[in-house]
Amino acid sequence: MNIKKIILCVFIAAIFALASCEGAKKEETPATGFTISDTMMKRIKIDTVKNTLVLNEIRLSGKVVADEEKVLKIFPLAGGTVMEVNVELGDYVEQGKVLAIIKSTEVADYDRQLSDAQANLQIAQKNADVAADMYKSKLVSEKEYITSQRELEKAKSEATRISEIFKIYNIGKNSQYIIKAPIAGFILEKKINSGMQIRSDMSESLFTVSQLSDVWVLANVYESDISKINLGYEASVTTLSYPDKILKGKVDKIYNVLDPQSKVMKVRVKLANEGNLLKPEMFAYVLVSFSEDKQLPSVPSKAVIFDKSKNFIMVYTDRSHIETREVEIYKSVGNITYIKSGLKAGERIMSEGHMLIYDQLND
């Protein structure tokens, strides 16, 4: 082989090698042919993908009820005719406020018993005093003296008993039985009106008084979600009356029985009721939040582009290297989306102003 042929072969081999290197270099850093301008960069927000615990949510419906620990039902202690009713349903009352006045034959009998007990006490006191003086003078026996003291104690006990009944029944003048509010709170139930006849053995309460500084929300959990609910989970509550007001609480009780008709289990969320905004029987939405025992790459939900029945993320390397990458979503919770595949922690993505870039690169 002559020298010219050898030189030609070496030259051709060198050209192929150079072309090969340039091809490899291009594969390593593919250029899109598109560069983000300074003006456009100001509209773009870049976020870094992070591995975070996967949050989960369960949406429940329920209603507001009064805190049973702060509810008192008032039953009649004596029968009679209702003379006055001083409150209406929903009124706020202070402790001790007169709710109703009842004229009662039973109370009239207690008046008679009190008069008899006081008269008997006076007589027993006089007899005991006389017996004590005569005993000192040796005019009566010790047995007679002790008997007089026993009669005095018996009369005192009977008078005390009747007086205690007067306190319990709030008995007033003219055979009147007075019903007073045992606590400060709101009248949740009122089943009494002027002129109404009542009996002491009535099974229904006349009034229900409740403090509403704290209330409960009883939420319905369907069978498919029972295994996901645990005590202590964070809960956000909203109502139809105040849709923009989010109240925070926790699941503090799980009623481990299912309603035989609705087939739901109840859970309780206790809430501080500032300003008494929440009223018993209000409809409530409850969002229960908890974390799963796993970590996945997470991105702002607004960074995800849904197009052509697929989900895409704009992966940012620099102004000239932006990749439209298809991803598989695990789930979205609020403003966070968890990625099952397609992204890894540490990569940078575009979360704002990226729709224009997507259109430019994928038209």
Instruction: Determine the pLDDT at residue 93.
Output: 93
The per-residue pLDDT for range 258-301, each reduced to its tens digit, is 988 888 999 999 999 988 899 999 999 999 988 888 899 999 99
Helix (H, G, I), strand (E, B) or coil at 289: strand
Residue 302 reports pLDDT greater than 70: yes
- SS3 assignment, position 109: helix
How would DSSP label each residue in 178-215? EEE-SSSEEEEEE---TT-EE-TT-SS-SEEEE--SEE
Beta-ladder partners of 323: 315
The secondary element (H helix, E strand) that includes residue 323 is strand 321-333
User: What three-state secondary structure class fits 313?
Assistant: strand
Structure tokens at 258: 């299912």
Bridge partners for 247 per DSSP? 237
- The residues that bridge with 56 in the sheet, in sequence order, are 290
CA distance 290 to 200: 51
Query: What would the pLDDT profile of 1-12 be if each residue is shown by its tens digit?
Result: 455 555 545 455
Read off the pLDDT of residues 203-262 as tens digits, 9 standing for 90 and up. 888 999 999 999 999 999 999 899 889 999 999 999 999 999 999 999 999 999 998 888
**Is the distance from CB of 340 to CB of 32 less than 8 angstroms?**
no
Whole-Å CA distances, 351 to 197, 300, 318: 72, 7, 15
With CA atoms as reference, report the closest residue to 99 among 173, 184, 214.
Answer: 184
Pick 75 or 268 by higher pLDDT: 268
pLDDT for position 24: 42
Q: What is the pLDDT of residues 156-182, one digit of tens each?
A: 888 787 777 666 666 666 677 788 898
Of residues 141 and 168, more confidence is placed in 141
Which pLDDT does position 165 carry in this prediction? Answer: 67
